[in-house]
Amino acid sequence: MPRTLGPSRVIARFAVRLALLIGFAAFGSVGFSRSLAVLLWMSVILCALAGVIRREPAFKAALNHWDEAVAFGALFALAHIANELA
């Protein structure tokens, strides 16, 4: 049984996590954008921890938790910039 998931399953997992984060940020008491930024930062840390615990290689052809951490990090950077401009 392979340890890696298919790319479509990893992308679906990322989309579901992002939808949940957006849903939780909508009910944040400090505002949507600040809540989303904090939740995205937490997701970066949790995905990196999952990559370390599962011993996934960082630069592999298959998508894994490290790639999700990078994607959440990019979204965090965008949210942080948007918060600073507002």
pLDDT, tens digit (0-9, with 9 covering 90-100), for 7-51: 899 999 999 999 999 999 999 889 999 999 999 999 999 999 999
Return contacts of 1-8, CB within 8 angstroms, 24+ apart.
3/54, 4/60, 4/62, 4/63, 4/64, 5/62, 5/63, 5/64, 7/62, 7/63
pLDDT for residue 1 is more than 60? no
Q: Name the more confident of 60 and 44.
A: 44
Angstrom distance (rounded) from CA 37 to CA 71: 13
pLDDT band, very low/low/confident/very high, at 61 (cuts 50, 70, 90): confident
Q: Do 44 and 76 meet the contact criterion of CB atoms below 8 Å apart?
A: yes
